[in-house]
């Protein structure tokens, strides 16, 4: 039996083991998960969330590690949620960024959690929002959310972060690929990492040309900063841009709007999940199985089946007095 009050007290006091256990409860859909998150919610809203995204091999983990060191030197606590591909055998995180962030893992002021995408197509685990909320409730100052780096399907990072940083490299036409992926639309600013390599200046020019074709929608114009994260070069400039974007958001009200939109999307996701669970009762699954042979023989259509299932659901809700 999970003691929810004990969990809340432990998490909000910053107990690392309690944080780890609570994220595990949420990831594994424990029956008490919703009550835990509901109880923690009033303690959230203080941490600043930074999304780090971009193609695989761009140096996202290295940049995150360097930024972590920067903020720790400023006395801030840091949480890192590293979203990795899912292991086909365990369902857990395949790469495990704890291995790649050895400089930070022993720091008591840093909490690192690797999370598996578990089939989510947005580059983020479905439970990333909740994990960030748990770290927020635990009093973490800065939360970095690093995506799996799958390229064209990680755009929901913009709905999770207060500032979204897109990391690119000079090679392989990454700037053009980013435009196709829609990353140009979500970036609050760009980091051209590994800028000591050939083609860095041309890559910056390519990004600038694309940005000139895109008008700033809220008064903020994305910038491009060059770094060599492996050597720590340019990392202070990245932190400065994060600070500037945060101040812009506070001054203009854009940060509040972004966070409100994030909560609206989260509510919609929760409603969709509950309706999905409620809809697919054994009775509706039987209707689906009953329609399947006729659909495969083209006697009935998938649309006929969908209408029948929805109508059955509506009648069931009327009988239950829900309408």
Residue-wise pLDDT tens digits, 67-117:
999 999 999 999 999 886 543 333 444 444 444 555 556 789 999 998 875
Does the pLDDT value for residue 157 go beyond 60?
yes
Q: Does any domain span residue 153?
A: yes
Distance (Å, whole) CA 69 – CA 90: 32
State pTM to two decimals: 0.86
Q: Which residue has the tokens 């578990």?
A: 118
Residue 286 CB: number of other CB atoms within 10 A?
12
Q: What backbone torsions phi and psi does residue 15 show, to the nearest 5 degrees?
A: -65, 115
| Tally of domains within the chain | 3
In a shared domain, residues 204 and 300: no
Same domain assignment for residues 38 and 109: no
Residues 96 and 140 occupy one common structural domain? yes
Residues 225 and 305 both lie in one domain: no
Residue 315 in any domain: the answer is yes
The helix (run of H) or strand (run of E) holding residue 48 is strand 48-53
CA pair distance 143, 181, nearest whole angstrom: 25
Question: 87 and 35 in one domain?
Answer: no
273-318: pLDDT as tens digits: 889 989 999 999 999 999 999 999 999 999 999 999 999 999 998 8
Shared domain check, 209 and 117 = yes
Fill in the DSSP letter of residue 118: T
Examine the pLDDT at 209 and tell me if it is beyond 80: yes
**Has residue 273 been placed in a domain?**
no
**CB contact at 8 A, 122 and 153:** yes
Which of 270, 291, 273, 309 is CA-nearest to residue 317?
A: 309
Same structural domain, 171 and 217 = yes
**pLDDT band for position 1 (50/70/90)?**
confident
Average per-residue pLDDT for the chain: 85
The answer to whether 1 and 31 have CB atoms below 8 angstroms apart is no
* Residue from 107, 71, 104 nearest 239 by CA: 71
In a domain, residue 274? The reply is no
Q: What percent of the chain has pLDDT over 70?
A: 81
Considering the domain boundaries, does residue 275 fall inside one?
no
Mean pLDDT, range 265-278, rounded to an integer: 90
Same domain as 50, residue 37: no
Residue range(s) defining the domain that contains residue 303: 280-319
Owner of token pair 């697919």: 280
Residues 73 and 147 in one domain: yes
Both 37 and 102 in a single domain? no
């Amino acid at each position: 039996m999970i003691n929810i009050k004990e969990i809340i007290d432990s998490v909000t006091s910053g107990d690392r083991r309690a944080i780890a256990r609570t994220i595990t409860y949420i990831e594994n859909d424990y029956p008490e998960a919703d009550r835990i998150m509901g109880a923690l919610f009033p303690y959230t809203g203080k941490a600043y969330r930074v999304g780090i995204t971009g193609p695989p091999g761009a140096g996202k983990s290295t940049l995150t590690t360097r930024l972590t060191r920067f903020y720790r030197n400023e006395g801030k606590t840091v949480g890192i949620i590293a979203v990795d591909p899912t292991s086909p055998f365990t369902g857990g995180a395949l790469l495990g960024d704890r291995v790649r962030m050895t400089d930070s893992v022993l720091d008591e002021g840093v909490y690192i959690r690797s999370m598996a995408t578990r089939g989510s197509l947005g580059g983020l685990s479905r439970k990333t929002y909740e994990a960030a909320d748990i770290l927020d409730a635990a009093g973490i100052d800065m939360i970095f959310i690093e995506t799996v780096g799958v390229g064209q399907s990680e755009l929901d990072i913009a709905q999770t972060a207060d500032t979204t940083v897109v990391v690119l490299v000079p090679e392989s036409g990454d700037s053009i690929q980013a435009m196709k992926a829609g990353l140009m639309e979500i970036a609050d600013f760009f980091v051209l990492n590994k800028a000591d390599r050939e083609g860095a200046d041309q890559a910056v020019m390519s990004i600038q040309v694309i940005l000139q074709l895109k008008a700033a929608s809220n008064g903020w114009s994305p910038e491009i900063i060059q770094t060599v994260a492996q050597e720590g070069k340019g990392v202070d400039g990245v932190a400065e841009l994060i600070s500037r974007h945060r101040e812009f958001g506070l001054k203009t009200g854009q940060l509040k709007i972004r966070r409100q939109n994030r909560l609206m999307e989260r509510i919609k996701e929760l409603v969709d999940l509950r309706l999905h669970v409620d809809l697919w009762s054994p009775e509706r699954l039987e209707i689906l199985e009953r329609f399947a042979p006729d659909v495969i023989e083209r006697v009935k259509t998938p649309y006929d089946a969908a209408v029948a299932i929805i109508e059955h659901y509506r009648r069931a809700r009327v009988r239950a007095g829900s309408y």
